[in-house]
Amino acid sequence: MDRLDHLESQSIFILREAYARVEPLSMLWSLGKDSNVMIWLARKAFFGRVPFPAVLLDTGNELDEVYAFRDEYVESWGLSYINADCPALEETDPSLPLNSRHAARKTLGLKRIIADQGFRGIFLGIRRDEQAVRGKERVFSPRDESGTWDYKDQPAEFWDQYKTEIPPGAHLRIHPLLAWTEVDIWRYIQREGIPVVPLYFARDGWRYRSLGEKDITRPIRSDAATIEEIIAELETTRQPERAGRTMDHDSEDAFERLRASGYM
């Protein structure tokens, strides 16, 4: 096996293990590169179909190209789709910086859809290399009744043995891509021919490296207009992946506060 084969096999094992042991399940689908890879892996794991709903936490302020991609691929991939509207900015924690409050709308939207649908497991396309706080995650990560993450008290995961027993009202965040890197994602997209939102490819010297809402996401300077050029750029850049996410430039503890309270 090469590295991509190993990562693919590991992720498919995680998807199938969760499907066998946790119900009901859903998968968060932001329509970014990572969540598209996760959908692709789920289709491989379950012989061409995704046997649980794909959920977009919709602020109403996603990028236009993201909505266009959704409209095409919900049908093309035969997805069971839930559009989960997120609460207004006024309902978020006023003590957070403004950019983080925009992001916190998705935290509240996730809590609402979990309560409405009774999900016990949620697949997310996060990776450890993406952000320092996410590096503390487990593959099967428990959340309490309020969605709070106690990153100081998490189950050990040795030899692919995962703890799936949780108390009533709690749920699991399940991370099939946790061991992947950004370069792994793009190499897999290239190998498999996975569609992605065109905003990832440079136009007029700018491209999006990470996709989020219009209010809190900006493109970066780049001439990488193909997957090959993106991979080459990532192999040399020292710029962080989330450089275009304005919330990441808020106070030092803002992202950790968001994550602890239930942010993805």
Q: What pLDDT is attached to residue 263?
A: 52
pLDDT at 78 over 60: yes
CA nearest neighbour of 186 among 142, 129, 222, 226: 226
Per-residue pLDDT band for 257 (boundaries 50, 70, 90) equals low
Fold (CATH) for 3-180+251-260: Rossmann fold (3.40.50)
CA nearest neighbour of 61 among 79, 85, 42: 85
Contact 197, 32 (CB under 8 A): yes
Every domain of the chain with CATH number 3.40.50.620 lies at: 3-180+251-260
Per-residue pLDDT band for 4 (boundaries 50, 70, 90) equals very high
CA-to-CA distance for 174 and 32, rounded, in angstroms?
A: 17
pLDDT in tens, 206-233: 999 999 888 788 999 999 999 999 999 9
Q: What pLDDT is attached to residue 233?
A: 96
More confident: 258 or 75? 75
Q: What pLDDT is attached to residue 25?
A: 97
Q: What pLDDT is attached to residue 188?
A: 98
β-bridge partners, 99? none
More confident: 39 or 162? 39
pLDDT in tens, 114-167: 999 999 999 999 999 887 677 778 899 988 887 787 777 777 778 888 888 888
Residue with tokens 């207004």: 88
Per-residue pLDDT band for 103 (boundaries 50, 70, 90) equals confident
pLDDT at 185 over 70: yes
SS percent in the chain: helix, strand, coil, step 5: 40, 15, 45
Phi and psi based region of residue 31 (left: phi greater than 0; alpha: psi -120 to 50; beta: remaining) = left
- pTM for the full predicted model: 0.89
